[in-house]
Each structure stands twice: as structure tokens, then as C-alpha cells.
């Protein structure tokens, strides 16, 4: 609750009842989201309608004196809606609000380790999807810096992928399968493929860490195989939930390395999000 005391009263929400995004504002926003360029006119039209519905459903508020502009609100709505463009906004039913800080924010963490020692620290974050039923918190600076998505990262897509994941229970990389859309996905296939890919990726990240920490002078490099660039943000090796969120970011923004390294994950995400970003096409059934 502490968090909410910091929320400024100023918040930008387009017209309360049936928000309509003016065309000039809409196209100014699209110009800042290059990964949407491959969408068809019909998809852009649907994305606009969905973004309008999103804005009427989820309040977006500035915190710590951040004055949220209409443009910032539309940019967040468009990116969040893009993730579920071929699914349904119902996946965001439990998002009560989006809180936007001007830049990275500190979150107090507390953890008890296996020997019972309590560790407390402050962690700087770019975004956080708090928990099932909780708000999404974003740093505007990080939203702006990741809007282009060229490096396969995008903080809005990342946090909303977590929200989808949490829709079933906790974030664990096992999102809900909807009867209307996901009949072709077998839960056991999903769980097996994701846990295998996660293990493989965690090994790659560890191998890379070891590689860079090898003492070259001691000749320690001789046993290290050549290590190529990682196909995903190494943050994905944190746990199964982060792996799903990071794979989702790559899937939408930089799909080729993901498809090359983990074709089964690419295929499952294509069937999940009902989109084929490599071919720049949607699934319409
Ligand atoms: Zn995350």
C-alpha cells in the first residue's frame, strides 16, 4: 500500500467512457513503435480499437511527479494491446492500474535464505508486474528507451507477458490456455519444451559467464569451446517466469535468433500469441 501513497493525483486517462484516440496522436505513436510496421491496415485498425478499449479498462497514472501525457498513455496501451492483438484483452482483466514513474524505481526486497538468514536490499527496476491482481509499475525512461525493440527488449511487452503468465496463478512460465484459441497446444508439450529450453539457455548463459571469467594468462581458455552470441537476453536464465517473458519479447521484436535456437519455443509462442512474426502474418481462424 505504501506504493500508492506516492501516486500523484494527476493522471492522464483519455475520455472516461468511450475513449477515442485522435488519428494524429495515433499515427504519431505508431511512428515510435517500429516493430508494428509490418502490420496490415486491418491489424492497425484492430490495434487502435483494442488500445482504446484498453485505455477505458485500465487506468494509467503517473507517480513521483511524473506527468503522464496522452501520448505516453497511448504508447503504453498500444504496446500492451499488441501482445494480445489476436487473443483477448480479458487476459488483462486483473490489472487494476498501471503506475508510471519518471525513471527507474527502487523496490525493497526481502528474502530468507535456506539457513534462515533474512536478506534485505533495494533493487532498481525498469518495470514490475507485482503479482496476480496487482498493478504494473513502469519506468517511463525505460519504456522510452526500449520502445524501438531493436535489441529484442521491450519493458512493456515484458511486464504484460508476466501478467498473462500470472493469469493462471503465479508467474511460472505456464500461461493459461484459452479454449477459444489454444486447442492445439498440449499442456505437457508446453511444459516439456519450455523446461528443456530454459535448462539449455541457463547452461549457455553459465558457459558464457565462465568463459568471460576465465583467467586467460593461465591458459584456461584452451578447454573453452567457442561461444556465440546468446539468442536471448541473459536475464531469461533467471527463472522459468523470466524465461517466458524474455522469450515473448524476442518473439515479437527479434524473432530470428529465437526461432534458430529454440524452434519448438518459437512454434509454441506462434500458436499461443496466434502470430508469426518471422512471416509478419497473423493467424485468423
Ligand atoms: Zn521480468
The string of DSSP letters for 179-191 reads TTT-TT--HHHHH
Residue 142 CA to ligand 1 center (angstroms) comes to 13
pLDDT (average), residues 229-240 = 94
Cβ 83 vs Cβ 157: under 8 Å: yes
Residue 159 CA to ligand 1 center (angstroms) comes to 6
Residue 163 CA to ligand 1 center (angstroms) comes to 10
Residue 219 CA to ligand 1 center (angstroms) comes to 37
For each of the domains in the chain, give its residue range(s) and CATH number, in order of start.
Answer: 2-151 (1.10.472.150), 187-212+225-282 (3.40.390.10)
Other beta carbons within 10 angstroms of residue 100's beta carbon come to 28
Mean pLDDT lowest among 129-133, 165-169, 195-199: 129-133
Q: pLDDT tens digits for 47-95?
A: 999 999 999 999 999 999 999 999 999 999 999 999 999 999 999 998 9
Q: State pTM to two decimals.
A: 0.84
Residue 213 CA to ligand 1 center (angstroms) comes to 26
What per-residue confidence (pLDDT) applies to 133?
80
Cβ 250 vs Cβ 152: under 8 Å: yes
* Strand pairing report for 98-101 and 275-276: unpaired
Amino acid at each position: 500500500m505504501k506504493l500508492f501513497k506516492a501516486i500523484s493525483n494527476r493522471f492522464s486517462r483519455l475520455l472516461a467512457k468511450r475513449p477515442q484516440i485522435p488519428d494524429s496522436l495515433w499515427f504519431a505513436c505508431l511512428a515510435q513503435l517500429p516493430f508494428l510496421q509490418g502490420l496490415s491496415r486491418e491489424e492497425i485498425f484492430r490495434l487502435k480499437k483494442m488500445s482504446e478499449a484498453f485505455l477505458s479498462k485500465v487506468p494509467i497514472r503517473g507517480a513521483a511527479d511524473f506527468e503522464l501525457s496522452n501520448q505516453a498513455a497511448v504508447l503504453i496501451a498500444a504496446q500492451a494491446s499488441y501482445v494480445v492483438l489476436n487473443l483477448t484483452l480479458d487476459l488483462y482483466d486483473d490489472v487494476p492500474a498501471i503506475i508510471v514513474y519518471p525513471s527507474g524505481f527502487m523496490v525493497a526486497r526481502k528474502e530468507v535464505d535456506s539457513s534462515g538468514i533474512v536478506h534485505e536490499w533495494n533493487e532498481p527496476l525498469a518495470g514490475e508486474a507485482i503479482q496476480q491482481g496487482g498493478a504494473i509499475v513502469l519506468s517511463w525512461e525505460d519504456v522510452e528507451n526500449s520502445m524501438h525493440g531493436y535489441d529484442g527488449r521491450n519493458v512493456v511487452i515484458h511486464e504484460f507477458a508476466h501478467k498473462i503468465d500470472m493469469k493462471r496463478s503465479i508467474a511460472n512460465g505456464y500461461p493459461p490456455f484459452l479454449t477459444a484459441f489454444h486447442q492445439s497446444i498440449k499442456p505437457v508439450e508446453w511444459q516439456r519444451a519450455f523446461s528443456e529450453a530454459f535448462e539449455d539457455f541457463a547452461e549457455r548463459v553459465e558457459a558464457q559467464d565462465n568463459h568471460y571469467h576465465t583467467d586467460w594468462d593461465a591458459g584456461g581458455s584452451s578447454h573453452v569451446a567457442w561461444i556465440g552470441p546468446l539468442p536471448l537476453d541473459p536475464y531469461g536464465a533467471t527463472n522459468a517466469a523470466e524465461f517466458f517473458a524474455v522469450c515473448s519479447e524476442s518473439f515479437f521484436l527479434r524473432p530470428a535468433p529465437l526461432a534458430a535456437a529454440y524452434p519448438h519455443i518459437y512454434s509454441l509462442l506462434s500458436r499461443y500469441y496466434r502470430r508469426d512474426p518471422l512471416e509478419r502474418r497473423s493467424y485468423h481462424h
